[in-house]
Amino acid sequence: MADSGSSSSAAHASATPITGVVMDITVDNAKAAMEFCQAAFGATVDPKHVHNSEDGRVMHAEVRITEKLYVFYHDEFPEYGAKTRGPKALGGTSITIHLDVATPPDVDVVTAKAVAAGAKVTMEPQDTFWHARYARFDDPFGHAWAVHCYLPGHEDKEVKMPSGDGCAKKDDE
């Protein structure tokens, strides 16, 4: 049997060609969701990447939060058989959009900006048992967000689960 090539070709064949993940987020008001991202995170929206339906709903919009992080937003379109719905229609969400920030104080800054833009805090910024500064909030459209930054020296510390403060499993679960 002939040699099929170098070991690098075998490694390439097993390597994934995926270069990133982009969230395509369904909401009940994509224009307002884009405005929330602009106010809360300083996001930008390029009008060339916003496509509306004839009735004015957003079919696709690219919202750039940072140079490397962007999301797509679109309105609900149940009349076209689209099965995606926003959290309000579903009564909740199954994901959390997780933002890593550069420094622990940035957790507080990002959370405060999100609140000023209409978010509701579900976990105040705090230092956690996993040695990170962390906060959670829900945006006005029902999506859950988290903001996170490891604390200095976290690599040298052991993570110990707390007991009796809400992290323990409840009897009825």
pLDDT of residue 147: 97
- Provide, rounded to the nearest whole percent, the portion of the chain with pLDDT above 90: 68
**Is 75's pLDDT higher than 70?**
yes
* Average pLDDT for 151-172: 62
pLDDT of residue 21: 84
**Is 109's pLDDT higher than 70?**
yes
* Least reliable range by pLDDT among 18-22, 99-103, 157-161: 157-161
String of DSSP letters for 56-119: S-EEEEEEESSSS-EEEEEE--GGGT-----HHHHTS-S-EEEEE-SSHHHHHHHHHHHHHTT-
Cα–Cα distances in Å, from 167 out to 33, 128, 163?
32, 12, 7
The 10s digit of each residue's pLDDT in 22-48 is 999 999 999 999 999 999 999 999 999
**Is 171's pLDDT higher than 50?**
no
The 10s digit of each residue's pLDDT in 124-138 is 999 998 899 999 999
Backbone φ and ψ of 169, nearest 5° = -65, 135
pLDDT of residue 159: 67
pTM score, whole prediction: 0.79
The 10s digit of each residue's pLDDT in 54-71 is 999 999 999 999 988 899
**Is 144's pLDDT higher than 50?**
yes
> Is 69 buried (19+), middle (13-18) or exposed (0-12) by CB count in 10 A?
middle
Cα–Cα distances in Å, from 7 out to 10, 12, 144?
5, 9, 44
